[in-house]
């Protein structure tokens, strides 16, 4: 008898009970690209490491695997940036409403609660996702409230 674990639907429903912030992962290849991600976690304070999990079917996955893509950004969205989460998750929305700015050539999202510039440190295959470990070289942040995702819906603190 083979134990296959939970079904994808049951697993998604269960993990949806974990409230998380919403991030946009950004990188530049031939053009700037962004992807909504809630699978983001701090890994280590010394050295400063973070991890993002990217579906192998995502365009961002192929971009981050490129040898010449050495850095990526993590943008923690503010409570007012739900439209950006939707846009980068593939839901319709105008590109001209994205408040892009660059830090040393890396595209980041303006108005975010926090931005991290990460050097790609390790790439780890993990099922239908790949884990990208990033060494944080630069950060900036505000005291604005973050956008929160819980049970498949957006929420605000307060």
Q: Where are the domains of the chain?
A: 8-153
Average confidence score pLDDT of the chain: 91
The architecture that CATH gives domain 8-153 is Roll (2.30)
**Contact in structure between 41 and 131 (CB atoms under 8 Å):** no
Range with the poorest average pLDDT among 36-40, 63-67, 70-74, 149-153 = 149-153
Q: Which residues contact 5 (CB under 8 A, 6 or more apart)?
A: 11
Helices (H), the chain: 8-15, 59-65, 82-88
Give which of 63, 59, 54 is closest to 28, Cα–Cα: 63
Structure tokens at 91: 């839901």
Confidence of residue 82 (pLDDT cuts 50, 70, 90): very high
Q: Tell me the pTM.
A: 0.89
Query: How much is the pLDDT for 94?
Result: 66
Query: How much is the pLDDT for 141?
Result: 96
């Amino acid at each position: 008898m083979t134990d296959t674990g939970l079904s994808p639907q049951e697993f998604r429903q269960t993990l949806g009970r974990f409230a998380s912030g919403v991030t946009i992962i950004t990188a530049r290849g031939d053009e700037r690209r962004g992807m909504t991600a809630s699978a983001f976690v701090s890994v280590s304070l010394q050295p400063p490491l973070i991890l993002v999990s990217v579906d192998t079917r995502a365009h961002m996955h192929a971009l981050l695997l490129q040898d010449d893509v050495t850095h990526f950004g993590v943008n923690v969205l503010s409570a007012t940036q739900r439209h950006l989460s939707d846009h980068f998750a593939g839901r319709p929305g105008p590109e001209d409403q994205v408040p892009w700015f660059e830090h040393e050539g890396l595209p980041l999202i303006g108005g975010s609660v926090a931005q991290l510039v990460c050097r790609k440190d390790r790439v780890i295959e993990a099922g239908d996702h790949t884990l990208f470990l990033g060494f944080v070289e630069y950060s900036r942040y505000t005291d604005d409230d973050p956008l929160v995702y819980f049970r498949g819906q957006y929420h605000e603190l307060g």
